[in-house]
Amino acid sequence: MKVAVVGATGMVGSVMLKVLAERNFPITELLLVASERSVGKKMTYKGKEYSVIGLETAVAEKPEIAIFSAGGDTSLEWAPKFAEVGTTVIDNSSAWRMNPNNKLIVPEINANELTAEDKIIANPNCSTIQLVMALAPLHKEFGIKRAIVSTYQSITGTGVKAVEQLENEEKGIKGEMAYPYPIYRNAIPHCDVFEDNGYTKEEMKLTNETMKILNDDSVALTATAVRIPVVGGHSESVNLEFDKEFNTSEIRKVLSQTPGVKVQDNTDTNTYPMPAYAEGKNEVFVGRIRRDLTQKNSLNMWIVADNLRKGAATNAVQIGEYLIANGLV
């Protein structure tokens, strides 16, 4: 299996290589691809040194799978060129997610929608992935009428510049700003750009992508996305209103039986999900499961995941694994 990792030198790209190695992805030839300024850079994968190549060179190599994590503009330009030579593209950007002709896939939920004809497959937004991992099984069982989501998102979702900003501010060093305000000892209710409706792009991604993955536009979802000075992962406070009555033991049972979800929910021992514990792990962690005492058939819960792993790299690699296992590439 000839595999290209496009954006290999970036933050998600480096995690992608870790996940590919950890899961023993069946690679016979690896192409590490980046922008022209990184061509020739040396990188190591499983103890072997590779030279970074450019996009044109990578297309000419006709890999079976190309995993993109290089930004929307790069994906819009280059994903079709890979697809034209027979490559199946798994794209981490927002470029193709809401295109009706492209599948938006979380393998545990809707990988069965994929066919050999799907040559550009969209990987959802990081905060969407962890949300739907918990919502999908509950929607199937109880029917979600409405969801109110507040996110507490890691700076790693912004990228290396944001990590550098936090580190500089912690040390009292003036440097380049990834955000319009200091992030150290702060919370910024502003993820991505503001749209005309007053919501940010991140908040609308949560709304629109969730409905597409659940294949149900009747789910009323509203979101507020906040950036916090944390490295380990994204957290989400979620309030759900169901069509059906439930008890919390049923909720825990459904989530515990969902592949890729781990319930951490014991207030007697102060057991609940936190980014510090989620960092470096591939599961989605759910806790603080409790009935909303103010509203009929309603529930509160807390969801945490490593946004660079299940929120990006791991989900993309799992899509690749599904394609191979089912003879779709």
Is 191 annotated as catalytic? no
| Token pair recorded at residue 104 | 């938006």
Task: Provide the token pair at 70.
Answer: 């290089």
Distance, in Å, from the CA atom of 191 to the CA atom of 206, rounded to the nearest integer, reads 12
pLDDT recorded at residue 135? 98
**85 in Cβ contact with 62 (< 8 Å):** yes
Residue owning tokens 């890691």: 154
What is the phi/psi pair of residue 65, to 5°? Answer: -130, 140
Q: Are 221 and 291 in contact (CB under 8 A)?
A: no
User: Is CATH 3.40.50.720 correct for 2-124+312-325?
Assistant: yes
Looking up tokens 């929120």 gives: 311
Residue range 107-145, pLDDT digits in tens: 999 999 999 999 999 999 999 999 999 999 999 999 999
The pLDDT assigned to 170 comes to 97
Residue closest to 282 by CA, chosen among 124, 133, 121, 104? 133
Same fold, 2-124+312-325 and 127-307: no
Q: Would the pTM of this model clear 0.85, i.e. be above it?
A: yes
Q: Read off the pLDDT of residues 227-278 as tens digits, 9 standing for 90 and up.
A: 999 999 999 999 999 999 999 999 999 999 999 999 999 999 999 999 999 9
pLDDT single digits (tens) 82-106: 999 999 999 999 999 999 999 999 9
Amino acid at 164: E
| Set 126, 139, 190, 191: catalytic member | 126
Q: Which pLDDT band, with edges at 50, 70 and 90, does 291 fall under?
A: very high
pLDDT given at position 248 = 97
The catalytic position among 139, 190, 191, 234 is 234
User: Which CATH topology does 127-307 take?
Assistant: Dihydrodipicolinate Reductase; domain 2 (3.30.360)
How far is Cα 56 from Cα 248, in angstroms, rounded to an integer? 54
Q: What is the mean pLDDT of residues 321-327?
A: 98
Q: Reply yes or no on whether 190 is catalytic.
A: no
**pLDDT the model gives residue 245:** 97
Indicate the domain borders of the chain: 2-124+312-325, 127-307
What average pLDDT does the chain have?
A: 97
CA distance 128 to 208: 9
Alpha helices in 55-121 (DSSP H): 55-60, 72-84, 107-110
